[in-house]
Structure 1
Amino acid sequence: MHHRPAPAAARRPATLVAVGHGSRDPRARATLLRLLDRVRELRPGLDVRLAHIELNAPLLDETLAGLAAEGREAVLVPLLFAPGHHVTHDLPAAVAAVPGLRARVAAPLGAHPLLAEALADRLAEAGWTPGEDDRRTTGVVLAAAGSRDPRSGAETRRIAALLGERLGVPVVPAYASAAAPTVPEAVAALAARGRHRIAVASCFTAPGLFATRAAAHAPWIAAAPLGAHPALARLVLHRHDRALAAPAVVHGRELAAV
């Protein structure tokens, strides 16, 4: 069913639509809702809504149809870390499927100092305390979802490099699906380099199958998913603000930014 968009004069301010993948783990949706509560605390008055690509309600297409009916512009912020198929195809396709919707799709969370801060803090919470002597035998596996899109792997490597600079130890990216190396393979590669105190950093927004499997392969400590970390909330707003500076789109046509 198509909704008639509201007249231009009645349009309301843009809504931040945080787009999660969706998960069968019941903790995932609750975790993302807590993250968005932090976003609202940082930006009072901003309309912030959660939507999912699959598996959980509300689904993205329903959310976008509702925003079009309300006359709101949407800024989609993917709660994903790299430009894989969901970011480059599914989100633009969802926008194009809603007649009259004004929307912008933000970049994925990606390599940013705020993300490195959140990853490092979660490792510290898990027990990361290597001294200078320990750093020679310590390494980190950065566990991420994985994608066949080469841009995704390149972005994950940039995230690993940022985290390695922050921690002062080697950080090797690894993937739960669709790409290599796997977490066990990355652990073995670090061990072959004499790194026997190996932690797993969780490059996931919320608990789920991939995060659980990755943590199970940690020889030493495993960080929790990033969840409602304050730095991640700031990064969501940063991506939203950057997207607002770009032109909006209706049915693939650029409009002047408002």
Structure 2
Amino acid sequence: MTPPHPPREDPAPGSTPTLVLVAHGSRDPRALHTVRALQARVRALRPGLPVRLGHIELNEPRLPDTLTRLATPEAVLVPLLLSRGYHVKQDIPELAAHARAHTRVAPPLGPHPLLVETLHDRLVEAGWPTGSRAASAVVLAAAGSRDPESQRDTARTARLLATRLGVPVIPAFASAAAPTVPEAVRTLTARGHHRVAVASCFTAPGRFATQCAEAAPWIASAPLGAHPAMARLILHRYDQTLGTRPRAPHPQARGTARPATVTSRNEPMAAPDPHPADA
């Protein structure tokens, strides 16, 4: 017998859809602290908007538990993930499938100029030079996925960052895809770039972020964290997804979730492969 849902407040008609931040989860305690700080920044930017947090795994609250306690009939799930992949396409919609609220899954946070703004600022904080950048280059370190769309998204973020910095940027991965960060560093060094920085393309601290930073021969930036641009990007994805919301969702649509088709490059989905956990 299925246990009853916990009681929740009856929503007012026309209430604002809840923004649900969907974090992966990590065994690193700094990760939960980071995403809660990001949640607080989003709330500060838009007072009155209900903002909740749910995890795919490893941390509480889990996403299904968050969704059963919503006080609104609708919710927009914003993945704190930086590219398309298995979690966005498969895991999150499946976890949301039995929610009482009508849910929509927003696109991942990347690629986007606000993500690049954050990456740039984190590099500057780590010591990236504001003057001459001769012989400098960057490895953009990401978690990695076998999904080709995820790899293309990371490559696009690398191109946007290269344009912003004016130096070569090579994407590299902690798992499931090539090249690795050490391989990318060797490639850039062989091309004559003697100062190679690692830009951490991770939302929060974790095993993969630490592993990639340790491979940096020069400087390594901190994870993206609760940067103001990240909070603005989350709200942009929320608004973007609501812009595609059906005017009158059919009652039978409640409890369903599907990725929103509002990305700037709405390419056909490839068959997904599991995206590794940064645990």
TM-score scaled by length of structure 1 = 0.91
Tell whether the 8 Å contact from 1:96 to 1:250 is kept in structure 2 after alignment.
Answer: no
Structure 2 letter corresponding to 1:188: R
CA pair 85-196 structure 1, distance change in 2 beyond 3 A: same
Partner of 2:82: 81
Q: Any conservation in 2 of the 1:11–1:71 contact (CA below 8 Å)?
A: no
1:250/1:127 Cα in 2 relative to 1: closer, same or farther (>3 Å)? same
Distance of 1:223 and 1:9 partners within structure 2: 44
Instruction: Write the letter of the residue equivalent to 1:131.
Output: G
What is the Cα deviation at residue 186 of structure 1?
0.6
Structure 2 residue aligned with 1:103: 103
Q: Which residue of 2 aligns with 1:90?
A: 91
> How many Å separate the matches in 2 of 1:8 and 1:127?
49
Rounded Cα–Cα distance in structure 2 between residues aligned with 1:75 and 1:253: 9
RMSD: 2.0
Ranges in structure 2 where 5+ consecutive residues have no aligned partner: 247-252, 259-279
Deviations 1:37-94 (A, max 9, x none): 1111111111111111000000001111112xx3431110000001110000011112
| Contact kept? 1:15, 1:74, Cα under 8 Å | yes
Structure 1: how far apart are the matches of 2:254 and 2:95? 12
Distance 2:257 2:26 in 1: 33
Q: What does residue 221 of structure 2 align with?
A: 223
Task: Give the aligned partner of residue 48 of structure 1.
Answer: 51
User: 2 CA distance for matches of 1:6 and 1:156?
Assistant: 40
State the distance in 2 between where 1:58 and 1:72 align. Answer: 20
Letter in 1 for 2:204: A
**Which residue identity is paired with 1:110?**
G
Q: Does 1:250 align with 2:254?
A: yes
Q: Does 1:25 find its partner at 2:28? A: yes
Deviations 1:147-194 (A, max 9, x none): 111000000000000000000000100111111111001101111111
Whole-Å separation in 2 of the counterparts to 1:6 and 1:92: 24
1:175-228 CA-to-partner distances (Å, cap 9, x unmatched) read 111111110011011111111100000001111000000000000000000101
Shift of 1:95: 1.9
Match for 1:198 among 196, 199, 217?
196
SS in 1 for 2:224: coil
Residue 153 of structure 2 corresponds to: 155
Structure with bigger helix share is 1
Aligned to 2:61: 58
How many Å separate the matches in 1 of 2:245 and 2:114?
Answer: 25
Residue type at the aligned position of 2:129: T
When residues 56 and 5 of structure 1 are mapped into structure 2, their CA distance, relative to the original with a 3 A threshold, is closer
Q: 1:82 to 1:10 in 2, by over 3 A?
A: same
Three-state SS of the structure 1 residue aligned to 2:39 is: helix
Aligned match of 2:116: 116
Give percent identity, aligned residues only.
60
- SS of equivalent to 2:69: helix
Deviations 1:14-58 (A, max 9, x none): 110001100000010001111111111111111111111000000
Partner letter of residue 203 of structure 2? T
TM-score in terms of structure 2 length: 0.84
Cα distance in structure 1, aligned partners of 2:256 and 2:117: 36
